[in-house]
Amino acid sequence: MLFNSFEFLAFYVTFLVTFFALPSRCQPFTMLIGSYVFYMGWRPSYALLLALTTIVDYTTGLMMQSARTEGGRRAAMITALTINLGILGTVKYLDFMISNVIGLAGLFGHQLPEYALGIILPVGISFYTFQSIGYTLDVYNRRIPAERNFIIYAQYVAFFPQLVAGPIERAPHMLPQFRRTRSFSFDNVPGGLWFIGYGLFKKVCVADVLAPVVSGIFANPQDYSGSYNLLAGLGFIVQVYCDFSGYSDIAVGVARIMGYDLMINFRQPFYSTSITDLWRKWNISLISWFRDYLYFPLGGNRGGELKTARNIMIVWLASGLWHGAAWTYIVWGAYYGVWLLVERGVRKTVDAERWLGARLSAILGGVWAIAIFTIGEIIFRAPTLASAWAMLLSFGHFGPLSYGTFKILGLPSFEMLMLGVSLIILFVVDYFLAFHPERLAAVAKWPRLPIVTGVGLAYYILLFGVFGRIEFIYFQF
């Protein structure tokens, strides 16, 4: 059930009416049932794995809480991690490992028959698994007590606004919200609708308009000059930003109307001043999860530069693997790990602001960040490493662009014009959100302007948005 579909609109309106019409004591059950109905819209069997993850981590959390010895606590924690990571590893990585074993055997002259289990990857399994693992580790490290109410914990794992593509929330932030009863408040509606509207705008007016061009060029990069491949790379970073941050914005808005608070997952990353700064603003929930539950336990930046470098590389290789079972993702993770280490070393030896001034240093740092990021996302998006390499090699042979090519790829003149308008709106709004949010807040207080702007945005989305049931990119993870 896609956020950018009329099916979801019907589901959400029905759910809202039911949730607030029933007595408050029924709200936890309504939320849980609604979340499972939402998730089963993809495939009913997915709910079995979601329920298993919930039961395992709820039970082991109680076991850690009641254990009388540290060994007992550790055994419960290891049990939870083994089951969670075992499920995730089986459905997501087993076929990848089998294919690599077959390929490795072939290198040594042993021809093994091709074999694949063909397991269908449940939507959002990486997101809710990491959210549940975060709870387990928080209980083990005594950051929070174990949740004794199963229905409250089950809502935390299955909360439908952020179930299938994040943001990956934390138990200390979310569990208390499920302990409170809710009453409908009109004060939550304007802010929630603005998040939903801006998220839909990014998804259907930018990401989905760019999608056919990006997909067409990435499918056959050898057929295009470096000019087209570079545009495809730049187009993809805009597409994936608008697609993923658009989903996160809609999730925040949907939750806010119901009275729940979700974290902001993106903070205008294209206005970053370095690749390090960009990754502090991109997919914040995942990056902070790896920082808190992997980087810091490994030692963080304590223990010298070599150990810090080791920890950074481990975190980014793990991040690559989290995204999927493919060598492109592993190389993608290693690529960013190396460049973050390079930036770390440069910052320690060169004071850019002193030599260039704060403004020029920020501008050049931003250009550097986008250049490194574009190459990284080409590796991420390409179907194979060979395809990514072909795209990067083509940058040495730029040629003229043809309108006819873009028309064939699915971007005729009117759509191209409206995409240009949408991109201007996107970057202007993001600029003010990044550097002058107080001005937007002041403008929002003008009489009737928010209503007029909201109605205008709604018409713009309906008139110029693409409603072709294109799934959100991060559903595959």
Residue entry with tokens 């939507």:
123
CB atoms within 10 A of CB 159: 25
**Catalytic residue check, 436:** no
Asked whether the beta carbons of 85 and 78 are under 8 A apart, the reply is: no
Q: How far apart are CA 126 and CA 289, in angstroms?
A: 12
- Cis link prior to 167 (omega < 30° from 0)? yes
Residue entry with tokens 């006819």:
404
Asked whether the beta carbons of 35 and 159 are under 8 A apart, the reply is: yes
Q: Considering the candidates 110, 173, 323, 397, report the single residue annotated as catalytic.
A: 323
Measured distance between the N- and C-terminal CA atoms of the chain, rounded to whole angstroms: 16
Asked whether the beta carbons of 137 and 77 are under 8 A apart, the reply is: yes
CB atoms within 10 A of CB 192: 20
Q: How far apart are CA 307 and CA 219, in angstroms?
A: 40
Residue (of 114, 122, 112, 123) closest to 95 by Cα position: 114
Asked whether the beta carbons of 285 and 319 are under 8 A apart, the reply is: no
98, burial (CB in 10 Å: exposed 0-12, middle 13-18, buried 19+): middle
Q: How far apart are CA 350 and CA 186, in angstroms?
A: 52
| Cβ-proximal residues to 384 (8 Å cutoff; 6+ apart), any chain | 327, 328
Give 121's Cβ-side CA count (13 Å radius): 22
Asked whether the beta carbons of 50 and 36 are under 8 A apart, the reply is: yes
Q: At what angle do helices 27-40 and 46-66 cross, to 10 degrees?
A: 140
CA geometry: angle 155, 159, 162, nearest 5 deg = 155
Q: How far apart are CA 402 and CA 227, in angstroms?
A: 10
Q: How far apart are CA 159 and CA 178, in angstroms?
A: 10
Beta-strand ranges (E) seen in 247-361 are none
3-state secondary structure of 447: coil
Residue 396 is inside which H or E element, if any?
none
Q: How far apart are CA 425 and CA 35, in angstroms?
A: 34
Catalytic residues: 323
